[in-house]
Chains A and B, each alone.
Chain A
Amino acid sequence: MCSKFMRFFKKDKSGENLPSTREIMQEIDVIKKNFRKHGFFLDLFRKEVLEKFEEKRTKDVEHFFELAEAFFYHNRLLRELPNISSSQQEALAIVWHKLEASLSSVGIEIIRRVDVDFDPRLYEAVEKVAEGDGRPVVKKIIQPGFVYEGRVVKPAKVIVERENFESRE
């Protein structure tokens, strides 16, 4: 803020240096102006802080999504290897557990479950294998989805299977 305040005169014993009414009014005007400008400053500051906060929050969440996605794909390829040992599988499960707990602490839930009923709120089917009349089941996750603070921000892209009703029974 660059506005300058005028200086009040000190009152001496004789009262000769008392500021005039005009000077006091001028001083009040300066103070009023500074209040007004301060209001603008606060307004702008509030706007900027809110925008920065929202921007940071969105970026932070996106970083989590990226990390979770990267681990999802890495995990899947490792599990597809022919000679993966049970302890390696166990290690992957432990990392998943820790990652999901961390995501949950910031309000994120990853959608990656398979062999569950297809729910169009959480999953987007991009392919269907096996024609049948039964309820479709999620067979493979092509891309994981995310729920953030209870809201589906991205449904998981999946391959579904519709078995015959009788065979599922």
Chain B
Amino acid sequence: MKDIICGIDLGTTNSSIAYLSEGKPAAIDIEEGSAVVPSIVSLDEVTGQIVVGRYAKNRLAAFPEHTIKSIKRLMGKEVKVHLGERTFTPEEISSFVLKYLVERAAEKVGQAIRRAVITVPAYFNDAQRRSTIRAGELAGLEVSRIINEPTAASLVYDHVSFLDKTDSPYILVYDLGGGTFDVSILEVKGEIKEVLASCGDTALGGDDFDERLVGFFLRHMKERTGVDFSNASRALRVRLGEIAEKAKISLSDVPYIRVTEVGLTNVSSEPVNLDLEINRRDYEDMIRDLVQKTVEKVEEALEEANLNREDVGNVILVGGATRTPLVLETLSGMFERPIYHSVDPDLCVALGASVQSGLISGEPLGHILLDVTAHSLGIKTADEIDSESMDADYFSIIIRRNTKIPVRKGEVYYSMVDGQESVDVEVFQGENPSCKENTRIGRFLFPLEPSPARSPVVTEFAYDKEGIVHITVDQKGYNNRKEVTLDVRKRKIIEPGGAQEQKILNYIIEKSRRLIEENSLPSDLRKELEELTNRYEGAIREDEKEGLIDEYENQLLEKIEEVEERLGTVG
């Protein structure tokens, strides 16, 4: 069996493991299709066995004296951990997590894992790092290297193919997890990435966002029943927490959600239900101060590193809570440069550790090809007026640049006057707040039903992998919807029925781009394929004559066939 090195993100709350699959980092599903495993260990006193992960988490409240979580906080300390009647060191507990990850991963990939790169927070001292190495050894691993979590995250993005290169050597890594926040500033010095500054808040994360929603639900219940539920039972709090988490996730993609929940509790023999609408703006107002706290930490890190905002070259987002649109929006406003968030923020660190393992073993690393939006996509609104033409000129972004596709995102806009007859929907792509500086890629009229000023119109973009955007405009509450299909490459609205044909053309281009990224493709073939793809794509975009497009297409299809035969990937 071939031996591989893997990368492990040994986290406080959760851990994950990744390896290089044909030169590309891949996370390994460990539990029920999930690559994210709770860093919890429990001793089953009946069988005498140590259990880890989801199973241990489920036991936590039932066997608190036999179960431990967040062991990472004790690493490097001379303490003993009691699980029932047995005693362990923090290293031993961590080794159980590592062993579980490695054994499950080895089963999944069918290869032995004897060496690993393990990540630690940038602020870990020498004793904590040594303690982590020891944990790896106790798990039967040779720890090839310990690397900082922000360094690992940045390593992934070094190998993502679409990224623009920057002259600045400074990288800011913003890591907002479920319960903790860390911000680090790295300086790239040749092959080395040095941590210049690192700070954070160990009691701030996405769970606090949920708590704000729980508070909102409790206030709503009080308004309806007159009863104060703030000292609610654990059962009610747990249930509200689940509802809040679901609401938070939905609000990342759509501007409105309806929460309908039956029978939260009884008041005077009457059930208390939840049936309310939450819009994203209200939710963002609830969490704005929390996001602001992270901004203050970012400023603190910049000061510590003796840098200004403009000095930072790249900003990388890590941690599940960074999926909240307000986080991305706030940082985009702060840094005025593309924010990197396309790699799964929950797995980014483990994937980076696996890249490091490849660098150590000398394994050839390929480019990571991500399907992302090359530009921000949005519509023109009247939030700003062009002073010369007096026309509306604000570019309101719906899908931000570098967002992983397929993706579905919506925003809410409002009519301007009473009885407004229609909305002129102009779709733009670009990065400038002024539409004049961006590229218009489509325009259509949406007739409105008679309604007062400030009537909401929800606009949703569903962007698929073939570069087709399905736009839905919905005059909320009036049963008035319109659906339009837009080809981003061709920059035009597709007539009904034409979407499939266009999808095939775009699919040909996508397939070709994937083949170009194949490591084993000879360079001459790669070059030829790249040229033909660019020429064909350009011809489509420029709406060249059909005959010419046909000719280019023919040449490209022949080349793809040749490449596939060479790579042996046909069928």
Contact = CB atoms under 8 A, between A and B. Distances in A.
Contacts of A113: none
A49 interface: no
B161 interface: no
A143 B242 contact: yes
B567 to A, nearest CB: 16
B269 interface: yes
Interface in A139-168: 140, 142-143, 151-153, 155, 157, 159-160, 162
A4 to B, nearest CB: 8
Interface in B317-368: none
A1 B501 contact: yes
A82 interface: yes
Contact of B271 (A74, A127, A153, A157): A74
B62 A162 contact: yes
Interface string B502-513: 011001100100
B188 interface: no
Interface residues of A, number: 40
A37 interface: yes
A57 to B, nearest CB: 14
A40 B266 CA distance: 58
A142 B238 contact: yes
Contact of A127 (B32, B58, B234, B554): B234
Interface in B148-187: none
Contacts of B63: 136
A159 B269 contact: no
Interface in A32-53: 33, 36-37, 40-41, 43-44
A82 B269 contact: yes
B58 A124 contact: yes
A74 B262 contact: yes
Interface residues of B, number: 41
A77 B263 contact: yes
Interface in B499-531: 501, 503-504, 507-508, 511
Nearest to A48: B503
Given A3-B550, A37-B557, A155-B58, A73 B263 contact: yes
Contacts of A143: 238-239, 242
Interface string A45-83: 000000000000000000000000010011011001110
B61 A125 contact: yes
B62 A128 contact: yes
Contacts of A126: 61, 234-235, 238
Interface stretch (A9-17, A91-99, A115-123): A115-123
Nearest to A1: B501
Nearest to B270: A77
Contacts of B60: 125
B70 to A, nearest CB: 17
Given A73-B262, A121-B55, A29 B554 contact: yes
A159 B235 contact: yes
A63 to B, nearest CB: 13
Contacts of B54: 155
A108 to B, nearest CB: 15
B561 A80 contact: no
A36 B504 contact: no
Contacts of A136: 62-63
Contacts of A3: 550
A51 to B, nearest CB: 9
A124 B42 CA distance: 13
Contact of A44 (B239, B265, B507, B550): B507
Contacts of A44: 466, 503-504, 507
A124 B239 contact: no
Contact of B507 (A40, A123, A124): A40
Contacts of A70: 261-262
Contact of A76 (B263, B269, B503, B553): B263
A160 B504 contact: no
B490 interface: no
Given A36-B561, A127-B235, 4 more contacts: A80-B266, A120-B55, A121-B55, A128-B64
26 contacts: A29-B554, A33-B553, A36-B560, A37-B504, A37-B508, A37-B553, A40-B504, A40-B507, A40-B511, A43-B507, A44-B466, A70-B261, A73-B262, A76-B263, A81-B266, A120-B56, A121-B55, A125-B62, A126-B61, A126-B235, A128-B62, A136-B63, A142-B239, A157-B238, A159-B235, A160-B62
Q: Closest 8 CB pairs between A and B? A: A125-B62, A73-B263, A125-B61, A120-B58, A77-B263, A124-B58, A36-B557, A142-B235
